[in-house]
Amino acid sequence: MKLIKVVHKAPMRVARISKRRQQIRLRRAMIALKCALEQEKQETKEMLEIYKRYTLGRAHKAELKTANAQLVDILKGLGLGVFAVLPFAPITIPIIVKVGQLVGVDVLPSSFNLKKKPTKAKEQ
């Protein structure tokens, strides 16, 4: 009789563990997305500050280069945003990113590329 209870409860336990694992994976993905968006927000604020100084004639060439790189990142995000409103976006966006990697084109903004550069918090 105990064997039947154990066999009966095993699939339920596996289902609970699987559900919990998926919840943890989703939570980690959301935290990573939040961190990337925070970094992008901070870089955009810095970009706007540099452009403001440039209009006043107080920005250096290196700062302007950094601001232009961030502007390119914003345009990359807007380009992917167009595909987000299309039907089947969860399928098309990963395909676009993968094809871009195969061709050698960086489709994602720099804050979403985990391999490319560490965040400022990790450097300190």
pLDDT digits (tens, 9 = 90+) for 69-93: 999 999 999 998 888 888 899 899 9
Residue 113 binned pLDDT confidence (cut-offs 50, 70, 90):
confident
pLDDT for position 112: 85
| pLDDT surpassing 90 at residue 7 | no
Q: Tally DSSP H helices, then E strands, for the chain.
A: 4, 0
Residue 124: the pLDDT is 43
Task: Identify the DSSP state of 86.
Answer: S
In the predicted structure, residue 116 carries a pLDDT above the cut 80: no
Residue pair 35/29 in contact by the 8 Å Cβ criterion: no
Q: How far is CA 77 from CA 30, 48, 61, 90, 116, in A?
A: 17, 17, 25, 16, 17
The chain-wide mean pLDDT, for the chain, equals 86
